[in-house]
Chains A and B, each alone.
Chain A
Amino acid sequence: MLRFLISRLLQTILVLYLIATVVFVMMKAVPGGPFSQERNVSEHILRKLEEQYGLNDPLHVQYAKYMWNITPKRFSPGALLRFDLKEGLGIDFGYSFRYEGRTVNQLIAEALPVSAELGFYALIIAAFLGISTGSLAALKQNTAWDHIPMGVVMVGICLPTFVMGPILILIFGFWVPESIRLPVLFWEPSYDASWMESLRYRILPAMTLGLYYAAGIARLTRGSMLEVLGQDYIRTARAKGVSPFNVVVKHGLRTGMIPVISYLGPVAAHLITGSFVIEYIFMLPGLGRHLINAALNRDYTLIMGTVLVYAAILILFNFIVDTLLVWLNPRLRLGSNP
């Protein structure tokens, strides 16, 4: 097990360096620099700017500097929990090109908790809706209980989020009676308010995001539950008179969840790092917005930072999922290589 963990860790580090390299190369190939402005900058000012940000160094020097800065040099879990990469790992992504006087570390530390919180709510909504609808559909295969809830959930993946979002805004922000209207934009109220009040601001974005993933989860749950319910041990359990609820929850879900959990891994990572469309529609200060804004603004340091954080989280979640799968599937526990 230890050997597996170490080799996995080494692999992860190699992957992250590779990603950093790929992004570095791509950034240098894109037209338009971070200092393109509508009102043109004179040549000598441009040179000064490039000097300040080290853009006039030879490429290999820039590359070496960058690689050194993103190399972890220490480890302090407490600081990591505060999303402080500089204190926590000694990683320094440098100053953002677009946001003067703000470091990429600061920006990520501000944005990641927002995306993570939103993703957490969305994950709950998605998992709850998806698993319950999927199990129900599987239990009552090919009846109205199967088709109607599945059809409703499927709307989630058939309407792009940028349509679903505004429609939910229209319904819950404007059409419903005034007393139960929800705030349509922003992450928190513009005045001091209780956490309940803040929570109301998060309902619509979490719903929009959650609905999108609920469909995928529902389909997977339905598929694998169908398979599991057809298995001999479930039949035996049923024949022995175990109640259907216990059959589903105790026996069915555990095995039936395997594909769902392997799907949830990357989904959770996507949710945690934020969906840029949702963050755009609802004007949320999350990581997804930084990711897209940075690409559009050629904010080299911010792109590097967000992409690497994103990739690291994705890898971490995949790792957690692999471990969970081993735990859920006894057959894998004996095998050395999952």
Chain B
Amino acid sequence: MIRRCLLWRFIPQGILLSVFALVLVGCSDNRTPVEIASAQGILLLGNGSEPHGLDPHLTTGVPEHNILHSIFEGLIAYHPTDESAPEPGVAEKWECNSDATVWTFHLRHDARWSNGDPVTASDFSYSFRRILSPALGAQYADQLIVLKGAEDYLKGNTSDFSTVGVEVLDEHTLRLHLVGPTPHLPGMLKHNAWYPVNPGVIESFGSIDSRESDWTRPENLVGNGAFRISKWVTNSYLEVVKSDSYWDADRVSIKGIRFFPIEKASTEEAAFRAGQIHYCSNIPIDRIAYYRSRHPQVIRFDDYLGTYFYRFNTTRPPLDNPLVRRALTLAIDTGLIVREVTKGGEQPARGFVYDGVSGYRTPGNLQFDPVEAKRLLADAGFPGGAGFPKMEILINTQEAHKMIAEAIQQMWRDHLGIDIGVVNQEWKVYLDNQDNLRYDISRSGWIGDYVDPITFLMIWTSDSGNNQTGWSNRRYDALYKQVLLTGDPHHRNALMREMESIFLEELPAAPIYWYTRKYLIHPDVKNWHPKLLDYHPFKFIQLEPTGFRL
């Protein structure tokens, strides 16, 4: 009786299991998504987090930028191999006057929006007016204050855009008047803050300065890049396809790109291993050794224009004492950290500015020196760490930051005899506390906006919103003003070296290492070159199925 009953009970289970098995095995296609995509010419990219938006004038993040430079094109575009070389974009050619304060751009006649309209100089003028509109509240608007009169317009001191140094000579010639000599302007123009938007589209979904507008919805968005957006599923993927109206469409090899927002490195790596994405933008530290030894052809380490550092809150004693800051800095064994913790071939930072940026050599010579560190701490009144107040390192929640903080915590305990705690906060709270100087020591990183040392040095001026240490130095500020007015590269570099020397004397922050970009890329992807800012123009990328599987 009971036996029969059990048999009965298993029948539905059996049915379910067989359906399950059918679904499992019943997949006809044994190819991985990557193999299918390579054959179709679709690039599958891991792309950090879900894009906040697609308005080139409002977004600020890296994942957004990766998508934006595929669907928009500025005056200057990204070069496939060299980050500091300007590649003609909408501008065919350009020239500047002798002190690099007036620039003239000649726009190509065949540049088209994805709705067929020609891209004109007045479109650019409209776009610059849009991002500088005070009511738009664009966070990257200050990129444009190199333009004459832009700061006044942005601050609302004037509402007359003709006072801003943007001059439309004719539909295909645009002239920019700058506040000071800016030889690196072409590099700056690659940023999405300088991208054009289609005035007709903006006006039909709102006004020039409305933030909450539907024009960036996939069905409405009009761009001028090599690709156009076709589908966007929040938290799932965003798809762009090749745009036929693009002036250089003949050279665009791939049919489309899918951007997947994957935040966690371990998840992204699993997706790559399972053949679900071509490109994995982040490698968990523990997997580096595996790929290095087993699949060296997919792992890459590229130089990356960024510095990882620890901010000191110079308004809190004893961190207001440069001796203490120096002692803390010298007690960090940066070599050990890059070798044993981050493991991505990073370089210990000798100074703050990434070494070798457009001919600039850092004057810094910071090196791990526990003896000197101990002596400095004793000089500051804390021999052997005695009497050093209880302090904390502020980090945002992320595995790598936690590991580095714990390593540094131990180094300070071993070499200086001081006990420092670690506080882990989630991103927004961390930013808020750092901004309001509610921390002792805070983990930070800075990636250059363009290839020029000034992008690193400008954050330490007194009125920079990114200073966030309470440190200020009058000589440093004066030098910064001078740099902005100097056109001669040699003199400019000398001034900047002096700035960095002041920084290294005072050390409001402890430089730890210079970044590398570590990522995984499938061998099917061709023409993906190392780039200092990690911008890879997709129009040059090619896909060739190789049949490679991990």
Contacts and interface: CB of A to CB of B under 8 A. Distances in A.
Interface of A: 30-34, 36-42, 44-46, 48-49, 52, 95, 98-102, 107, 110-111, 128, 132, 135-136, 139, 166, 169, 173-174, 178-191, 196-197, 199-200, 203, 243-245, 248, 280-281, 283-286, 289-290, 293, 296-298
B502 to A, nearest CB: 22
Interface centre among A31, A180, A191, A203 (most CB of B within 10 A): A191
A37 to B, nearest CB: 6
B395 to A, nearest CB: 14
A119 B446 CA distance: 42
B270 A173 contact: yes
Interface in B403-443: 426-429, 431-433, 435
A281 B268 CA distance: 10
Interface string B230-258: 00011111000000000000000000001
Given A132-B12, A283-B235, 6 more contacts: A45-B141, A102-B234, A169-B270, A186-B237, A186-B276, A284-B235
A37 B262 contact: no
A294 B55 CA distance: 20
Contacts of B214: 101
A42 B52 contact: no
Given A32-B429, A101-B217, A128-B12, A245 B4 contact: yes
17 contacts: A31-B429, A36-B432, A40-B435, A100-B54, A100-B212, A139-B5, A174-B273, A184-B276, A185-B270, A190-B44, A190-B258, A191-B40, A197-B27, A199-B23, A200-B24, A244-B5, A283-B267
Given A128-B16, A245-B4, A283-B260, A100 B216 contact: yes
Contact of B212 (A39, A52, A136, A280): A52
Given A37-B60, A101-B55, A190-B37, A174 B274 contact: yes
Contact of B435 (A36, A110, A173, A199): A36
B384 to A, nearest CB: 37
A296 B426 contact: yes
A245 to B, nearest CB: 4
A37 B431 contact: yes
Interface string B251-287: 0000000101110101100110110100000000000
A185 B235 contact: no
Interface string B51-77: 011110011100000000000000000
Contacts of B27: 196-197, 200
Contact of B137 (A49, A200, A203, A297): A49
Contacts of A136: 6, 9
A191 B42 contact: yes
B5 A243 contact: yes
Contacts of A42: 142, 465
Contact of B267 (A34, A38, A281, A286): A281
Contact of B264 (A139, A203, A280, A296): A280
Given A37-B60, A244-B2, A185 B271 contact: yes
Nearest to B156: A44
Contacts of A110: 233-234
Given A40-B468, A111-B234, A174-B274, A196 B23 contact: yes
Given A31-B429, A244-B1, A190 B33 contact: yes
A101 B5 contact: no
Contact of B60 (A39, A52, A135): A39
A173 B274 contact: yes
A48 B135 contact: yes
B83 to A, nearest CB: 20
A126 B219 CA distance: 40
A128 B266 CA distance: 32
Nearest to B214: A101
A42 B143 CA distance: 12
Nearest to B239: A190
A188 B108 CA distance: 41
A235 to B, nearest CB: 15
B236 A285 contact: yes
B26 interface: yes
Contact of A45 (B42, B138, B260, B261): B138
Contacts of B297: none
A41 B433 CA distance: 15
A285 B234 contact: yes
Contacts of A245: 4-5, 8-9
Contacts of B237: 186, 190
B213 to A, nearest CB: 6
A242 B89 CA distance: 84
A304 B266 CA distance: 31
Contacts of B433: 31-32
A231 B349 CA distance: 77
A100 B431 contact: no
Nearest to B64: A100
B319 interface: no
Nearest to A244: B5
B445 to A, nearest CB: 9
A111 B234 CA distance: 8
Given A190-B44, A191-B42, A183 B137 contact: no
A45 B55 contact: no
A185 B55 CA distance: 29
Contacts of B8: 245
Given A190-B44, A191-B36, A39 B466 contact: yes
Q: Which of B16, B26, B136, B235 has the most CB of A within 10 A?
A: B235
B535 to A, nearest CB: 17
A298 B142 contact: no
Given A37-B431, A48-B135, A283 B5 contact: no
B60 A44 contact: no
Contacts of B134: 44, 48
Contact of A179 (B30, B59, B155): B30
